[in-house]
Amino acid sequence: MLERVAVLSDIHGVLPALQAVLAEPDVRSADRIVLTGDIAAGPQPVDVLDALVELGERAVWVRGNADREIVQPSAPDSLAAWAADVVRPDQLALLAGLPLTVTLAVRGLGDVLFCHATPRGDEEVVVVDTRLDRWAEVLADVPPDVRIVVCGHTHMPFVRLAHGRLVVNSGSVGMPYGGSGAHWCLLGPGVELRVSGYDADAAADRIAAASSYPDAATWADHYVRTQATDSEALGMFGPRNGRR
């Protein structure tokens, strides 16, 4: 059974944010670092994947929708399609082999299921105020002995109870909505939502200068400097969450 697990989601190819989290003492000492998807689709995919591979067996990888879209890009002018062109063949093969879910036993929490969006899909939307009847559908196939589900995808951290299960969203490392910094969480023996601060302005400038992504400066200005608010994100996700 693992003592401590750090959860990093939605890094989205932002190396300075990832470096800030990996420098945290509790991340450096964690037994495992679970990466819950949307790892590389961003302005620095090669560097981010290289940094995570260096973690070796401590890193546990889960597929996100953006990782799948790098492997099989559907829109030729998308960020995922650009990332697919710049990552190496070994990195593409790594992303192609990622699982939808992973379950680990964590001290004080028991079996914990990790996924990107929900246990049944990598782009389904649930948020903090999702209706309980929808949670019942989303969690219906989760084994009864799993009492904690950890996800990402919506880039907004939360912890809530739904039908006797604790659902945790660790937020986004590289593209947070509503709160600055790199968001992640620490598991064992409890659940702690964490934020690692870093110089977002310097990071945005660094990305604009170093990335070959054509819109890197605009992308970094919006996402790294956290101009997207949580209220805007909830409004955007509402229809996909079953709300009017």
Average pLDDT of span 31-50: 98
**In sequence order, which residues have a C-beta less than 8 Å from that of residue 111 and are 6 or more positions away?**
103, 104, 105, 143, 145, 146, 147, 148
Hey, where are the domains in the chain?
A: 5-241
Which pTM value belongs to this model?
Answer: 0.95
Strand order in the sheet with 182-187: 59-62, 32-36, 5-8, 182-187, 191-196
Nearest-angstrom CA–CA distance, 31 and 47: 23
More confident residue, 19 or 180: 19
pLDDT on residue 242: 61
Euclidean distance between CA atoms 99 and 10, whole angstroms: 16
pLDDT per residue as tens digits for the range 88-125? 999 999 999 999 999 999 999 999 999 999 999 999 99
Contacts of 133 (CB under 8 A, 6+ apart): none
Query: pLDDT, tens digit, for every residue of 212-233?
Result: 999 999 999 999 998 888 888 7
Task: Return all residues near 191 (Cβ < 8 A) that are at least 6 apart.
Answer: 109, 148, 159, 166, 168, 185
pLDDT (tens digit, 9 = 90+) per residue, 153-163?
999 999 999 99
Q: How confident is the model at residue 240 (pLDDT cuts 50, 70, 90)?
A: low
- Reply yes or no on domain 5-241 having CATH 3.90.920.10: no
pLDDT at 131: 93
